[in-house]
Structure 1
Amino acid sequence: MASAAHAVTLKAATDPSFVPFEMLDQESGEMVGFDIDILNAIGERAGFDIDLKTMDFNGIIPAVQTGSVDVAIAGITITEAREKIVDFTDPYYDSGLQILTSANNGDIEDIEGLEGKKIGTKIGSTSYDYLTANLGDSTITPYPGSADMYMALMSGSVDAVFYDAPNVGYFAKTKGNGRVKTVGPLYEGQQYGIAFTEGSEWTEAANEALAEMKSDGSYAEIYQKWFGAMPGDSQ
């Protein structure tokens, strides 16, 4: 591992709207969140600094693919299609997709309950792909940012939101508290990875750093800061 005196700065990209993984701290004007802490800690151990830029999620994988950025972290689900064009680290977070409805909605309890309903999701996300593959009869509206789809749900423009579980759960516990609820199981178990440009010399060093963080407890500290206790066996 390199020393703390880093000579290399990597151009990094994230999506500013995937709370609590990455979000803008209004007071400092800096990006904060679980992903930001993870990437900074990995860089500290692997020997690189970060020059972080924000962009819409839809543009992140193409930016890594073309080399306009060196690395991206944005709750990016590892998929076969994405693995063909970027190099992923080992998974650093286990996730899935979940349904969010209004707190007083008793009709929707699972994915079957979304048939014929208006559903909001995010452009370019695996949740959008899942919906289009499994719910052809529903009205699926892709929104550019997660805040937009949550506003649509609370205003009644859509009957449900279907999106990444940690983001949905965080919203239900914070701004949506008392007004929305998560329902049903997790769908399509997913794992998030950090994306490097294909053939990057940094992927292996990042994996080594991540493994160290998991073994020495520093990963757990970052996890607990943003999500509370580490989950045990999945339910």
Structure 2
Amino acid sequence: MFRRSFFIAIAATLLSPVLASAADLPDLKGREIVVVTENAYPPLQFVDPKTGKPIGWEYDAMNEIAKRLNAKVEYQNASWDAMIPAVSAGQYDIGMTGISIKEERKEKVDFSDPYMRSEMFMLVRADETRFTDPKSFAAFEKGLIGAQAGTTPFYTAVYDNLDGNEQNPRVKLMETFGATVQALRTGDVDLVLTDGVAGKGYVDSSNGTLKLIGGPLGGDDFGFIFKKGSDLVVPVNAAIAALKADGTFAALDKKWFLDYKLGE
């Protein structure tokens, strides 16, 4: 998944500002950590249209975690549907792509402590007037939702916006979140459900063609994922606590959710 109107509420959950030195954290002694992401979830992680380089909140956070733990990070890409199985199998050390902490996912991977809380919102074209909330969308029988299978937006679409049937033909499955937004832009679907983070990023870069409507549809915590039993969970959790405590995460929130404008 804080918003100063649409942001997910993070600041209220931050620990009291206490500076934490690297000496207080585990030392991984230069260990290389392979981190996989999708680069499709601005402003958490995406490819900068100006430079072609991957950037975002999660990149900054992971780079700082590695710095504090005396580790080196190698980033790789994978699709969402391949990410959890690949991390579970040990192909990568850590997965990051705004992954909601879910009990069923805990059967396959270990999660870090939460680093952010996400709420689902309805992303539509700016001229949309046929529906304004889940109830009116459900009544709009021709309305289509774009979603990735197995994601929080998919389950929210099925169970909070429609009839609970995961085979409902009104849900059009796509391989990436970016593809669902592109389908929305072109009119192939009428609605995309997104956490406020990604939604705000796409709205800000849409030149007035997209908007968020309605209120938040529940909330989830985001966490990094690891292979079951990974020895990285404890040190990463220690670093997350330190970055919350010393205000680093709050500074990243300001950088990516207030100051940064995608596409400018």
What aligned pairs does 1:60-209 form with structure 2 within 5 A after superposition?
60-115=83-138, 116=141, 117-134=143-160, 135-136=162-163, 139-174=170-205, 176-209=206-239
**What is the TM-score with the length of structure 2 in the denominator?**
0.80
User: Is the partner of 1:109 in helix, strand or coil?
Assistant: coil
Counterpart of 1:212 in structure 2 is 242
Which residue number in structure 2 is paired with residue 49 of structure 1? 72
Separation in 2, partners of 1:143, 1:218 = 35
* Among 244, 248, 251, the residue aligned to 1:221: 251
TM-score, structure 1 length as denominator? 0.89
Ranked by relative contact order (alpha carbons within 8 Å, sequence separation 6 or more), the top structure is 2
Indicate if the aligned counterparts of 2:26 and 2:235 stay in contact, CA closer than 8 A: no
C-alpha distance after superposition, 1:84-142 (max 9, x if no partner): 21111110011021111121222211111221211112233111122223413661112
Instruction: Tell me, yes or no, if the aligned pair for 1:98 and 1:162 is still in contact at 8 Å.
Output: yes
Larger mean Cα displacement after TM superposition, 143-152 or 131-140: 131-140
CA distance in 2, matches of 1:97, 1:138: 21
Deviation at 1:227, TM superposition (A): 0.6
Question: Does the residue aligned with 1:186 lie in a helix, a strand or coil?
Answer: coil
Alpha-carbon offset, residue 224 of structure 1: 1.0
Kindly, what percent of the aligned residue pairs are identical? 27
User: Which amino acid is 1:170 matched to?
Assistant: G
Cα RMSD of the aligned pairs, angstroms, is 1.9
Q: Gaps (5+ residues) in structure 2?
A: 1-24, 260-264
* Regions of 4+ moved over 3 Å: 25-30
How many aligned positions are there?
227
Partner SS, residue 86 of structure 2: helix
| Structure 1 unaligned blocks of 5 or more | 230-235
